[in-house]
Structure 1
Amino acid sequence: MGLLREQEVEIRERPRFTPGERVRAASQVRNDGSYPGKDIGENLVRRGDEGVVRDVGTFLQQFYIYAVEWVDRGSIVGMRAYEITSLDKAATPGTSEIATCLKEG
């Protein structure tokens, strides 16, 4: 049996998202059994769905979990940072995407 790799402790840094921030799902999320009232494997969030971060918590004192309200679905699902992208930060002047567009223009 090999040595376990030390995983990144995400909570050493500030959360990437804040309550009230609009986000988009970067990937599909299915119920792993932790979402009540839904079958295991049932789709909870589809890639491209838009929602709002309602709260930020932690899991295993290692990861941030973002409680995202998916208004169109009428549900709140815990998401990891890699599963969502910000809609608000992408529209903020000074981000790398906008700076790149200005350089090209």
Structure 2
Amino acid sequence: MARPRKNRDDLRVHCCNVRLTKSEKQYAEREATKISCSVANWLRKSAFSKEEIQVSTMPREYYKQLIGLSNNINQIAKSVNQKKYTKISADIEEVKELLLKIYNLFQK
């Protein structure tokens, strides 16, 4: 099945060449990498967005671990709320360990 056609006003058909210094290009590449997008998309967001682009200063590996830990905590909470567990104390200890890992991540 083919992708639906874009509205004519939404097509990007106009080009604008911008010359950058080496340091400007490196800065744009670094900022685009932080939010996982291309330099062109980062420039568009920076130029036309009314809100400031928020970039986390946390290293990507820590961020991924934090997401995994929070998913684990959410799964445990969901199971507890559905009364699937009868051994709550073991799960509480697991949650304490996960929270300690999160705390240690933020201390680095």
Instruction: Give TM-score, length-normalised by structure 1.
Output: 0.21
Instruction: Give TM-score, length-normalised by structure 2.
Output: 0.21
Whose RCO is larger (CA < 8 A, sep 6+)? 1
Rg larger for: 2
Query: Which structure's residues are more often helix, by fraction?
Result: 2
Query: Which structure's residues are more often strand, by fraction?
Result: 1
